[in-house]
Amino acid sequence: MFNEDTRKETFIEHYVPILSQTRTIKLIIRSVFAGKHNPFNFQWKMTESGFVPAYEPKPDIVLAGEQQQIEFATQNKFLISSIYDQALQEIVDLANKYDFQVYLANSPVSEGLFANSHYQEYNRSLQTYLQGISSQSPNIHHLASVKTFPAEKMQNPDHLILSGAEEYTHWLVEQILQIER
């Protein structure tokens, strides 16, 4: 079904994120030295339904993360990894086979990051890719709109605190309902 490289990449992404997510490691190290994070204390509590709410905004981390993502977007063109492309292709195949609807939505983004021209250019390429995926099937819907939030409602440039998550969820439902009308 999948070739050996795909299996290895999946294993590394899932079980060895320290190798595949260097940006996250940099943020952890930076926050440890800034006295904002103790890697030995578990910071999150998961509800029985699997939800992990965040209550405290972290605007300093949002701003630092914005700068890192802007630097990345400035130095790189959008490129989907083969594993993610294969996963989306499989979702298209399953949606067609079992006739169910899939909505490709953008994560929430901090206002400062979304306002940056380099990020906008990077995001346009991402949206073009997602539109291409959605054009493969009437069951796949691309929600191109992006909901932005102030740093005071976020923990990093694309993760919200609970009040922001509730707002984003209501917004996302409205976006889906507009497609269904």
Residue 88 falls within a domain, yes or no? yes
Count of domains for the chain: 2
- The range of the structural domain enclosing residue 62 comes to 54-180
Residue 46 lies in a domain: no
**Start-end of H helices in the chain:** 4-15, 17-20, 22-33, 59-75, 82-98, 111-114, 117-134, 162-180
Specify if 139 maps to a domain: yes
Q: Spell out, as residue ranges, where the chain has pLDDT lower than 50.
A: 1, 20
CA 104 from centre of chain:
11
Q: Evaluate whether residue 146 is within a structural domain.
A: yes
Neighbours of 144 (CB within 10 A): 16
Position 119 in a domain: yes
pTM of full prediction above 0.85:
no
Q: Kindly state whether residues 1 and 65 are assigned to the same domain.
A: no
Q: pLDDT tens across 11-34, in order?
A: 555 555 555 455 555 666 666 666
Q: Which of 90, 86, 91, 123 is nearest to 104 (CA)?
A: 91
What is the rounded distance in angstroms from the CA atom of residue 97 to the CA atom of residue 127? 25
Q: How does pLDDT run across 87-106, given as a tens digit for each residue?
A: 999 999 999 999 999 999 99
